[in-house]
Structures are given as C-alpha cells and as structure tokens.
Amino acid sequence: MELSKSTRNGIDMPLVGFGTFQLSIDQAEYGVKEALKTGFRHIDSAEAYNNEEGTGKGIKAAGVSRDDIFVTTKLFPGSKQFGIPEKNFKQTIETLKNQLKQLQLDYVDLYLIHAPLSELRLEQWEAFVELKKLGFTKHIGVSNYNRERIKEILDADLAKPEANQVEFHPICAQVDLTRYLKENSIAPIAYSSLAPLSTWRVEEGQGGDVLAEIKEECQLVTNEIATKLKVSEARLLLRWGLQHGYGVLTKSSKPERIRENLNLFDFEIPEKDMERLNQLDQNQAIAWAANSVNPMEAPPLK
C-alpha cells in the first residue's frame, strides 16, 4: 500500500496527528508548538485531558495558519459509573463553547464523544449534530464505540458518525470493527498505537505496567522487524496503523522524538511482516486497563 504525507481520508484529516493525553498545561503548550513547527498539522485534544488552555497557547505560538491545522477535541460525556454528572443537550453545546475559549479557536475540525459512558449519549449526539449546523465543528464523531454503540445512533435515525477513534495496535487489532468502519465509510483513528512497547507510559501513575506480561511476544516481534527495517519500534507500530487505513496519533515532549514520529512515509512494512504483526492480536484493550474498565464494553441503552 502506497501512502504519502498528503493522503487524506474522507474527512480531510491529516493521517498523522500529535496527541496531548497525560501532558500538563505547560507540556501541552510546548509540545503542540514544537509539533506544528516540525510539520504536524493535526492536533488531538480532549476536555478530560485538562490541558486545552496549553494546547491553545501552543497553536497560537506556532504561528501556523488556522486553515492549515486540523484540530480534534472530545466531550467527556459524564458517567454514573465514575460518579461524574452526565451532560444533557444544552450542557453539551456549552461544553464545546467553553473548550473553544480555552483553545482560542472559533471552531474545531472534529468533535468526538470520548466514550459511550453516558446514558444520555443519544441526546449528546443530537447536540453534536446541532454543533455542526452552528459551525462550531466541521465534523462529528465518536471514540471507543463498538459496532453496537454506533448502531444505536443509526437506529435512532440520527446522522452517522464521521469518525471513530479507538485503541488500535497489534495486541488490540479490532478486526471486526475495522471492517465495519470501512464498510460504513467511518474514518478510523488509532490511539495508544505504542501500547505494546515497554517504553509506553513509564512514568509513575500512567499505567503502562498494567498487563505487561501479555506484551512480551509482541515486543520481541516488533524489535526484530524494526531492526530489520532499520526504523524505531515506535515508527514501525505507527506505520502498521497507517497501512491498515487508520489515522494515527503520536505524543512526545522531546523535539527529536516529535520529528521522528512524523516521518512515517519513507518506508513500508512488507506484507509478510505485516502478517506477523497481525497474528499477535489478542483482542486485548490495554489503554484503560489501569482504571479496570474497557469503555468499548459499555452496556446498551435501556
């Protein structure tokens, strides 16, 4: 599969984005500014990251034209399970307005429901449709939604999500969901692409050590293929996502790593090696495991 840096999917989104999860406000400001100066044109944020003020400052400081940047952010829907109040239609509208103030933007390019954790998620989706009509977001989508949760939206006769951001890496390959998204022209976006690596979320409290024992085979295979192709393991896993048709997100506070992870277009993983990585699938989510939850297993609406 040939990919180029200019390739876009159905929502005109740059294939490689810079994520801001687990960055402080100051780190988000620095990282976003450096990412944009390096050449990133997709920034991924969220209400729940509590750093959108820094992300907005970083966008401003980079001096890149707003028209050239694709900004994604997310609504945290609330959750009875977590004891967080669920947002209704009006609160959903107000949340994005407040996020735009923090981001110092007039609109975002893509607004996502962070996870199907709220029993008000259909009401929230109706608000998303309205936010798009009002011009506060160009595109609307979901995150951590499986086929059944997407079908809830379609069965309610509401507008189809334009994107779905999910955990995606060789240990959690989402085979059936990936096929479903392709069949329904819903753009897939990967997060936690580097979860199989021993270097993922290593700082105290980040949860990278959870389920470490299931990663060993993947780490061996990833290292072997990366060494053969003379690329870093991070670049290999990000490229694996690209070759599966996903947009991918990368995050770092180190300028050299930021530059390296954008450069995913000067090599290709051979078919045999893609298959070796594909065979590592355990259908095992890792990203939220430290919280003892898998958001994609949210129960259906009553």
Q: Do residues 205 and 199 make contact, with C-beta atoms less than 8 angstroms apart?
A: no
Considering the candidates 49, 111, 191, 246, report the single residue annotated as catalytic.
Answer: 49
What is the C-alpha to C-alpha distance for residues 266 and 11, in angstroms, rounded to an integer? 24
- Amino acid at residue number 235: R
Sole residue written with tokens 């609109």 = 107
* Contact between 113 and 87 (Cβ < 8 Å): no
Distance CA 293, CA 210 (A): 12
How far apart are alpha carbons 193 and 168 in whole angstroms? 6
Q: How many CB atoms lie within 10 A of CB 21?
A: 18
Among the residues of the chain, which ranges form H helices? Answer: 25-38, 52-62, 89-103, 121-134, 147-155, 175-183, 216-229, 233-243, 255-262, 271-278
Q: Is 49 a catalytic residue?
A: yes
Measure Cα distances from 114 to 34, 68, 76, 215 in Å: 26, 24, 5, 26
Active site residues: 49
